[in-house]
Amino acid sequence: MAGAEQPAGAASAPAATATPAHLAHPDAAPLVTDHPNQVWPADFKGQFKTGDGRYCYPLTITDHFTRAVLACRGLSSITTSAVQPVFRALLRAVGLPEAIRTDNGTPFVSTSLQGLSPLNIWWLQLGIVTNAFHRPARGTTGRMSACIGS
C-alpha cells in the first residue's frame, strides 16, 4: 500500500540481490550485487534454424543488479570472432563491468591450460574478472530463457 508506514521491527527488503539457495549451483558461492555494471551474466540460449535453414545462436548478456537485458543477438556461430564484436560494442556503450559470469561452454572456456579461452584472456587484459567455470545463476539466465521461449 502506497505511503503506508512499516510497523516497528518489520524487516525491509534487502538492497542487494541474490540467487535463492534452491536455484543456485551447488558448487557456487551466491552471487550478490549492489550496483549496476558490477556483474554481467552472459550465455547462449540454445540454437534454432531460421526460415532459410541456417542456424541462429542467441547470445544474451544481462546486468545482474538491474536485470536489464544489455544485449540479445542472434549470431551465426558460437565462436570468439562472432561473440567479441557484441561485447566490444557493449563495452563502448555501457562501460566495463567488474566481472562477466558465464557457463563453461564455447567460446567462454577452452581445453587449454587453466581453461582460458581467447575471450577470457581479452576480458582479463581489459581488467574484467571472469568466472567462466560457474553455471550462470538460474535466477538470471533461466528467467530470461523463459521470457524468450527457449
Assigned domain for 111 exists? yes
Q: Please report the pLDDT score of residue 115 as a whole number.
A: 79
Assigned domain for 15 exists? no
The number of folded domains in the chain is 1
Assigned domain for 128 exists? yes
CA distances from 136 to 12, 13, 63, 115, 140 (A): 27, 24, 12, 17, 7
Q: Please report the pLDDT score of residue 2 as a whole number.
A: 46
Strands of 98-149, DSSP E: 99-101, 129-131
Q: Please report the pLDDT score of residue 140 as a whole number.
A: 55
Assigned domain for 28 exists? no
Q: Please report the pLDDT score of residue 64 as a whole number.
A: 95
Assigned domain for 39 exists? yes
Q: Is the peptide bond before 41 cis (omega within 30 degrees of 0)?
A: no
Assigned domain for 55 exists? yes
Q: Please report the pLDDT score of residue 41 as a whole number.
A: 95
Assigned domain for 122 exists? yes
Assigned domain for 4 exists? no
Task: Tell me how far apart the alpha carbons of residues 25 and 21 are, in angstroms, rounded to a whole number.
Answer: 8
Q: Please report the pLDDT score of residue 110 as a whole number.
A: 84
Q: What is the CATH number of the domain that holds 49?
A: 3.30.420.10
pTM assigned to the model: 0.71
Domain that holds residue 54: 34-148
Residues of the chain where predicted confidence (pLDDT) is lower than 50: 1-4, 6-14, 133-138
